Amino acid sequence: MEAVGQQGILSNHPQYGGWCHEQYVDTTLANKAWMQIVEHWEGKGMQLLSFLYQQLMSTKIKEEEDLTTGFNLIKSTVSKIKTLGESISNFLLAQIIMNALPLSYAIISTVIQTSMQQAAITSNAICKAALQEEEHQQKGGGITAIKEQPKREEKDLGPPCANCSKPGQTKQECWAKGGGAKGTGPQQRQQNSKQLKDKFNKSQANCHKQRKIELARIEPA
């Protein structure tokens, strides 16, 4: 502003008017041209930033792809975004990495979110867990491999009981009604124990009542 003001004063001087006026016009045009250049490249920067964000959010690591390669690609995109003056929080980056993992690693997200507090979920934690799972899967183990193992066949317990049809026992060993061991099962034993306890409490109450009656008879009038 000070330089422009000086040029404006000199332009009114009869000795320097013409030359200073030309210089003032040239300076104004140069400044306008520079502003146009800045606006142009700022616009290009915003377009590039938008493209990088879209690329980052849509990144998907393929099943056959090495996880480290995929993680490096994500980190490279984040670095480019930072170069343009923007930043991405570690928590958001962790979510982006989880979203980029192949479907066979989907359980990693569930395990981490249920075993960690939100503040502890970082991009490094996600990468570490995923790389461990990758190593386990390559060895034939891993969470996914365990999850997909077929169920073990049930052990053959023998022919069914002739009394209650449950396998693994004979009619003589059966606890149900009609069996040789009727009343000896866990539920029956618990029920019998309760009945004995109730009888004992009732007997105690009767004894206490009878004792009071006897004492009343003994007491003098």
Asked if 85 and 174 sit in the same domain, the reply is no
* Contacts of 164 by beta carbon, 8 Å cutoff, 6+ apart: 174, 176, 178, 179
**Any domain includes 8:** no
Q: How many whole angstroms separate alpha carbon 83 and alpha carbon 218?
A: 105
Which tens digits make up the pLDDT trace of 75-104? 999 998 888 888 888 888 988 998 899 988
- Considering the chain, what is the average pLDDT of its residues? 69
Tell me if 103 sits within 8 A of 63, measured CB to CB.
yes
User: What is the spatial distance between Cα 158 and Cα 170, in angstroms, rounded to a whole number?
Assistant: 10
Across residues 130-149, what is the average pLDDT? 67
Residue 42 has pLDDT above 60, yes or no: no
The amino acid at 113: Q
Pairwise pLDDT comparison (8 vs 121), residue with the higher score: 121
Q: Looking at the structure, tell me whether residues 31 and 86 fall in a common domain.
A: yes
As for how many domains the chain has, the answer is 2
84 and 124 together in one domain: yes
Is 110 in the same domain as 217?
A: no
Cα separation, 27 vs 7, in Å, equals 10
* Contact between 25 and 65 (Cβ < 8 Å): no
In a domain, 5, yes or no: no
- Within this chain, do residues 138 and 166 fall inside the same structural domain, yes or no? no
Residue 32: strand, helix, or coil:
helix
Indicate whether 80 and 131 sit together in one domain.
yes
> Are the C-beta atoms of 125 and 84 separated by less than 8 Å?
no
Amino acid at 54: Q
pLDDT tens-digit series, residues 160-208: 777 777 776 676 767 677 776 665 555 665 665 566 566 656 666 666 6
Q: Decide if 4 is inside a domain.
A: no
> Are residues 124 and 17 part of one domain?
yes
* Statement to judge: residues 40 and 127 lie in one domain: yes
At 1, the pLDDT band (50, 70, 90 cuts) reads very low
Clarify whether residues 114 and 179 are in a common domain. no
Domain end (from 147, 167, 189) = 147
Which ranges constitute the DSSP H helices of 58-122?
Answer: 67-83, 90-100, 106-115
Residue 36 structural domain: 13-147
